Structure 1
Amino acid sequence: MTTASVLLTVGTTWGSNNDRCDNDEKLGNNACNPAAVAAKELRETPAIREQALRIMREWIQQNPDIKNVRQDDLFLLRFLRHKKFSVPMAQQTLLKYLSLRKYYSNCFTNLDCEDPRLKEILGNGFIAVSPVRDSLGRRVIIYNMAKFDATKYTCWDMVRAYVIIYEALMDDPTDQVFGFVHVGDGSGSSKSHVTVWNPVDFARFIKWGEQSFPMRHKEFQLFNVPAALKYIIDFAATKVSTKMSDRLRLHTTHKGMYKEVDLSCLPVEFGGDIPLQEMVKYTRELLLEKRQTILDLDKMEILSTKGIISSRNSGNSLREGVTSVEGSFRKLEID
């Protein structure tokens, strides 16, 4: 399987990892073979996949707490692959996903790439999808904090930009298997990028996001992170699982991450090969293709959260998190 076969058709002038993946497959290397990776890392086989999909559909059809939930393979496989085909865990993640969408409906509904505010934020290059996967087949997402005007937009605008991108990618079977690499430039960020957040909501998003969004986050590579932003990153690392926090890498400059990230996937501004505006164009085309699919997600409803199994002392954990992040916010104000 080549990179070109799993990405949208976009006219480009830069090289990709197509040949590398083709050569790997010819040599018997399964690194770029989704079926082989799914079998090894996710315990996925055709028989297990079909059985799990059947059970998920029956559960959805018989569950009075949810309504109009998608039952197509791609949507259900988001959750099954994320939880390595543990059906009960996939069901719980689906319920939490629906609950998160309902609780923060202002961030998760009416996600239209033609919305003026979203269109401007994405057009500025705040977040963009690379048209080139890395050598392991993983999708690379680029973040430019300086491109987000925190004096003009709110934290909800920021979240909506994240969510529309993630929703556009989560149905891609290759992304479901290989996962995502996040590469961010913190230069140009300021205290306003931090204080735009309400501490309670920030704590919830960090904790609930990992539990509710079925994405295989493989790496977080961040560079040029100023002190104001590092306070919040350090806090966020304490609110997610150890596995997730171990995947975070902070670099003083973009050159520090060159040994860990394929340059062919990065924008020129990060030392890579792809003009940022080409990435913005590619992201725009991807969102337009997925526009109606994303808008149709609003039809899904969760009528009751009684089926969600809460972790012990989740309320205490959240309150402790809020206290911690408020302390960081106060320190920023003092500094």
Structure 2
Amino acid sequence: MKETKVLEEGDASLLSESLLKIAKRELREDKCTREQSLEQLRNWVLKNEDLQNVRCDDTFLLRFLRAKKFSVPMAEQTLLKYLNIRRTFPHMATKLDFLEPRMTDLIEQGYIFAAPKRDKHGRRVVIINAKGLNPKFHTSCDQAKAHFLTYECLMEDQETQITGLSHVGDFAGVTTAHVTNWNPTEFARVFKWGEQSLPMRHKEIHLINVPSTLKWLIDFVKNRVSSKMKNRLNIYGSDKELMKSVDAECLPQEMGGSMPMREMIELWKQELASKRDLVLALDQSTLLSDRGIHRRSSYNSEKSSSGTNFVSQIESIEGSFRKLEFD
């Protein structure tokens, strides 16, 4: 018998007036649209025989509606793809427990965390610090789980659903081992599926201390994302340049901000603890079949715009990965 889990609903009426104005301007969201879209999406989930134990509370469903500016059919597709990526990559996208020793170590080392303060646009800023990942100990699976855990936690917040996320990636200390930690084929699949499947609004991506020998990889990735995402990616040569675009209070002291990274990490651990049960409960959601997912022919053939197989391109440069020499 089909089961659907309904949790306590998040009340959008508790959002501030300024936040509701952003939602209206950027997402076409108002009370009427929100209520009607939630009802339609919830009824679709309840009637869909391919779904089991899928949450139907407002906060969960709104992450998909807001990501697709309240197009219910597109939100339905994103929800199916979201469940499918969790089903296809369970070793990376499920059992996201920050208390698991390998996750705990990545978090303690500051590999990825969200700054406690929002920027001037009301966005959370995700800090990614390459030095926090030891490729001799942590696998690509650990790395991916840390990212999935971070995003699942942040997407439980309705304010973040509306304002979106900014990212700051510090590549200082990157070695060849960091790059070759990934199997190229799996990297290609996770990267491609993740962009299509995770209901997040990536507003800005800022990279700093990128080794010159790695910039070709950044270009390779930029050519395979939407033009909108490509235009939101910026590379800086110094902390001073970075701080012209990112609020200093959202950066750790080690990157020019005021709060020490250690304090930010401790606050992030508290946030992860508060959302731990919600995130772990997501594993109860089940997609029985992917038959409802609409696939364009370009996705089926996994071709890039040049007509060359995307996965094959990644595999063909594996040798180049291993020959990289970093500054």
Shift of 1:58: 0.6
191 and 182 in structure 1: CA distance in 2 versus 1, 3 angstrom threshold: same
Aligned partners of 2:138, 2:322: CA distance in 1, in Å?
Answer: 20
Shift of 1:331: 1.8
Q: Deviations over 1:147-199 (max 9, x none)?
A: 10011111000000111111001020110000000001101011111111111
Shift of 1:228: 4.5
Cα pair 1:228 1:332 within 8 Å, conserved: no
Q: Is 1:70 the counterpart of 2:59 in the alignment?
A: no
Return 5+ residue gaps in structure 1 as ranges: 1-24
What residue is the counterpart of 1:304 in the other structure? 289
Aligned partners of 1:170, 1:334: CA distance in 2, in Å?
Answer: 38
What residue is the counterpart of 1:40 in the other structure? 25
Q: CA RMSD in A?
A: 1.4
Q: Is 1:110 the counterpart of 2:99 in the alignment?
A: no
SS at match of 2:302: helix
Shift of 1:292: 0.5
Decide which of 208, 228, 242 is 2:227's aligned counterpart.
Answer: 242
Q: Deviations over 1:189-242 (max 9, x none)?
A: 111111111111111122111110011000000000113433332222122111
Aligned partners of 1:228, 1:191: CA distance in 2, in Å?
Answer: 10
What residue is the counterpart of 2:315 in the other structure? 326
Q: Normalized against structure 1, the TM-score is what?
A: 0.88
Decide which of 128, 148, 168 is 1:183's aligned counterpart.
Answer: 168
Q: Aligned runs of 1:73-152 on 2, under 5 Å?
A: 73-152=58-137
Q: Aligned runs of 1:143-292 on 2, under 5 Å?
A: 143-292=128-277
Name the amino acid aligned to 1:119: T
Name the amino acid aligned to 1:282: L
Return 5+ residue gaps in structure 2 as ranges: 1-15
Q: Deviations over 1:19-51 (max 9, x none)?
A: xxxxxx9xxxx8xx2100000110001001000
What residue is the counterpart of 1:12 in the other structure? none
Aligned partners of 2:206, 2:177: CA distance in 1, in Å?
Answer: 22
Name the amino acid aligned to 1:291: R
Shift of 1:81: 0.3
Shift of 1:326: 2.6
Shift of 1:317: 2.7
Cα pair 1:189 1:229 within 8 Å, conserved: no
Instruction: Provide the aligned length of Structure 1 versus Structure 2.
Output: 305
216 and 161 in structure 1: CA distance in 2 versus 1, 3 angstrom threshold: same
What residue is the counterpart of 2:3 in the other structure? none
SS at match of 1:84: coil
Q: Is 1:52 the counterpart of 2:37 in the alignment?
A: yes
Cα pair 1:206 1:239 within 8 Å, conserved: no
Cα pair 1:239 1:321 within 8 Å, conserved: no
